[in-house]
Structure 1
Amino acid sequence: MVSYVSALLYGVGGIVVAGMGLLVAFQERLVYVPVLPGLTKSYPITPARLRLNYEDVWLKSSDGVKLHAWFIKLFPDCPGPTILFFQENAGNIAHRLDMVRIMLQNLHCNVFMLSYRGYGASDGYPSQHGITMDAQAALDHLIQRTDIDTSQITVFGRSLGGAVGAALTKNNPDKVAALILENTFTSILDMAGVLLPFLKWAIGRSTGKGPKVMNFLVRSPWSTIDVIGQIKQPILLISGLKDEIVPPSQMKMLYAKAAAHNKHCSFVEFPVGMHMDTWLTGGEHYWRTIQHFIEQHVSGKLHDKSNSRKN
């Protein structure tokens, strides 16, 4: 009996150790998926395929990694807001062009699309630290441009891109006018338990029931819930209630945390929106929501300032 129990304990211990080893070795392949199954790393199309006026932009992150981006305008000299768009974790910026084309038409804006390191034509390998630097390089590039109104830069992030955008917005209170988050998670620590339920006992944010013993193994925690309460700029949170990947309850938690510290915070739900298609199933209401937010907190604020100077 003693030998049986010992063997069982050794077996369980071995499984735990093996699981920890797999988590350490492959976690970033789960968080970052630059290449979709069956496809290549290269872009399947460019904005030219959709007859969009665009510019290839090459940047260097602060650690020297070469990055690629597309700067897309509806018109050659569009004076409206510029949206700095951060994509989800899978695929590359070309897979978002259909959505961006409709965004241009509905919002009459510029869109800057960044390929994170390791994605598309960008060099390097993705990590939280690296992508945070990449996002800063993209914003710094926009701030230096003379062909846009740099006071109207609005960050828009979906899923992982929301975590990227929230961190950038918090770090740049004087450079980013507003933030839009769509179907974004509270943290990778929380998502680990959603995607791999057997990890709930070991990984997750502290809930007062004791520390999670394997949190230290997570190299890319992307804890948006800890960042969003520090953001002073206006925030719009968009949640698809049929999201099959990020539980909509996590978006509600982000809103509660943001609203407790920021009076310019709004939350809109779309009943049939899934993780990747809320922009599509939301129809006209989706775009009107974003347009109203930008007009109220970005373009409208500038108009108010202009009128006050005249008076």
Structure 2
Amino acid sequence: MLSYMQLLVYGVGGVAAAGMALLIAFQEKLVYVPVLPGLPKSYPITPARLRLKYEDIWLRASDGIRLHAWFIHCVPPRPGPTVLFFQENAGNIAHRLEFIHIMLQRLQCNVLMLSYRGYGASDGYPSQHGIIRDAQAALDHLVQRTDIDTSQIFVFGRSLGGAVGAVLAKNNPNKVSGLILENTFTSILDMAGVMLPFLKWFIGHGGSKHPRLLNFLVRSPWNTIDDIGQIKQPILFLSGLQDEMVPPSHMQILYDKAAENNDCCLFVDFPSGMHMNTWLSGGDRYWRTIQLFLNRHVPGKEGTVNGSNDLRSAY
């Protein structure tokens, strides 16, 4: 007869094994959610609904996948930055148009919104290797345009988009002028540990020196913690302290890692900011933070804040 303790150990082990098996088998469906429950895959609105001047852009990733994007023009046209925006996980770029509309008004910039493969009107199925190709195709498109200042291309990524943006900035130090991360995670495995706490015993933690025991089983690890320390461009970290999905500690860990080798990092938190509404709860301070960051880090331009070159003096 097995003792009670043995049964307990076997039971816990079985639950953990089952949890890991489900995580491994269905990881893409957990990481990528191109379609919100109950809604169609198509765009519910286009920029035209908001009376924005835009172009439908069709791109080819390096593996041949056809991608869709919107290039939204600043009106009236003016010299300034172009923001390459990478969205969060769920839904498509149309669900971010309200945010982009306000960005255009507040920052006076152009914006390229990319639909990852499998999202919106883009073909294919999402994966980490594929989305990295998609992001590169979007950046290459911007670099080839003649109607923008290609020395002022900034990458903005929220949540999953921050992980995408970090890889792109690391791989393109001479094409990306700066990176803005909002409510981004350290890695997918760390997020698995948040959603399924018992897995922390098996996966370790990206912010520590413990090995990731399951890393070799994860097809989309998105190890932002590893990428962030290799980025040389200026980085702005925007952290909502009430984030209910990604623990705010992830953003602090990313900042600490980046600041080890990069003197141009700034961390700004928003006390009432949640995962999806930091831009709303942050109000004017949120947009002023980004505007000052863009102004300060335009190549060849000495940006100032109230007579000072220190961006922190604005807060």
Cα separation, partners in 2 of 1:169 and 1:18, compared to 1, 3 Å: same
Structure 2: gaps spanning 5 or more residues: 304-315
SS in 1 for 2:297: helix
Deviation at 1:225, TM superposition (A): 1.0
Query: Could you say which residue in structure 2 is the equivalent of 1:217?
Result: 217
Q: Distance in 1 between matches of 2:11 and 2:242?
A: 39
Deviates more, 1:193-202 or 1:119-128: 193-202
Q: Percent identity?
A: 74
Q: Distance in 2 between matches of 1:32 and 1:106?
A: 30
Deviation at 1:25, TM superposition (A): 1.8
Cα separation, partners in 2 of 1:114 and 1:10, compared to 1, 3 Å: same
Is residue 2:75 matched to residue 1:61? no
Cα separation, partners in 2 of 1:146 and 1:164, compared to 1, 3 Å: same
Q: Distance in 2 between matches of 1:3 and 1:271?
A: 50
Q: Distance in 1 between matches of 2:82 and 2:295?
A: 13
Q: Distance in 1 between matches of 2:256 and 2:64?
A: 38
Query: Could you say which residue in structure 2 is the equivalent of 1:169?
Result: 169
Deviation at 1:200, TM superposition (A): 1.2
Amino acid at match of 1:131: I
Query: Could you say which residue in structure 2 is the equivalent of 1:286?
Result: 286
Q: Distance in 2 between matches of 1:8 and 1:109?
A: 59
Deviation at 1:18, TM superposition (A): 3.3
Cα separation, partners in 2 of 1:11 and 1:269, compared to 1, 3 Å: closer
Deviation at 1:5, TM superposition (A): 8.0
Deviates more, 1:97-106 or 1:197-206: 197-206
Query: Could you say which residue in structure 1 is the equivalent of 2:32?
Result: 32
Q: State whether residues 78 and 110 of structure 1, in contact with CA within 8 Å, keep that contact through their aligned partners in structure 2.
A: no
Q: State whether residues 72 and 112 of structure 2, in contact with CA within 8 Å, keep that contact through their aligned partners in structure 1.
A: yes
Cα separation, partners in 2 of 1:72 and 1:208, compared to 1, 3 Å: closer
RMSD: 1.9
Query: Could you say which residue in structure 2 is the equivalent of 1:158?
Result: 158
Deviates more, 1:246-255 or 1:71-80: 71-80
Is residue 2:149 matched to residue 1:122? no
Give the number of aligned pairs: 302
1:96-111 matched pairs, under 5 angstroms: 96-111=96-111
Amino acid at match of 2:102: I
Return the structure number with greater helix share. Answer: 1
Q: Distance in 2 between matches of 1:263 and 1:129?
A: 30
Q: Distance in 2 between matches of 1:247 and 1:2?
A: 40
Q: Distance in 1 between matches of 2:87 and 2:73?
A: 18
Is residue 2:296 matched to residue 1:302? no
Deviation at 1:10, TM superposition (A): 6.3
1:4-23 matched pairs, under 5 angstroms: 14-23=14-23
1:134-153 matched pairs, under 5 angstroms: 134-153=134-153
Q: Distance in 2 between matches of 1:220 and 1:204?
A: 17
Cα separation, partners in 2 of 1:287 and 1:7, compared to 1, 3 Å: closer
Q: Distance in 1 between matches of 2:204 and 2:123?
A: 31
Cα separation, partners in 2 of 1:204 and 1:160, compared to 1, 3 Å: farther
Deviation at 1:14, TM superposition (A): 4.8
Amino acid at match of 2:68: H
TM-score by length of 1: 0.92
Query: Could you say which residue in structure 1 is the equivalent of 2:88?
Result: 88
Q: Distance in 1 between matches of 2:293 and 2:285?
A: 12
Deviation at 1:212, TM superposition (A): 4.2
Deviation at 1:292, TM superposition (A): 0.4
SS in 2 for 1:84: strand
Q: State whether residues 204 and 215 of structure 1, in contact with CA within 8 Å, keep that contact through their aligned partners in structure 2.
A: no
**1:58-90 Cα shifts (integer Å, max 9, x gaps):** 001000101000000122633210000000011
Cα separation, partners in 2 of 1:9 and 1:35, compared to 1, 3 Å: same
Query: Could you say which residue in structure 2 is the equivalent of 1:308?
Result: none
Cα separation, partners in 2 of 1:68 and 1:13, compared to 1, 3 Å: same
**1:148-180 Cα shifts (integer Å, max 9, x gaps):** 000000000000000000100000000000000
Q: State whether residues 158 and 183 of structure 2, in contact with CA within 8 Å, keep that contact through their aligned partners in structure 1.
A: yes
Cα separation, partners in 2 of 1:173 and 1:208, compared to 1, 3 Å: closer
Is residue 2:243 matched to residue 1:243? yes
Q: State whether residues 87 and 157 of structure 1, in contact with CA within 8 Å, keep that contact through their aligned partners in structure 2.
A: yes
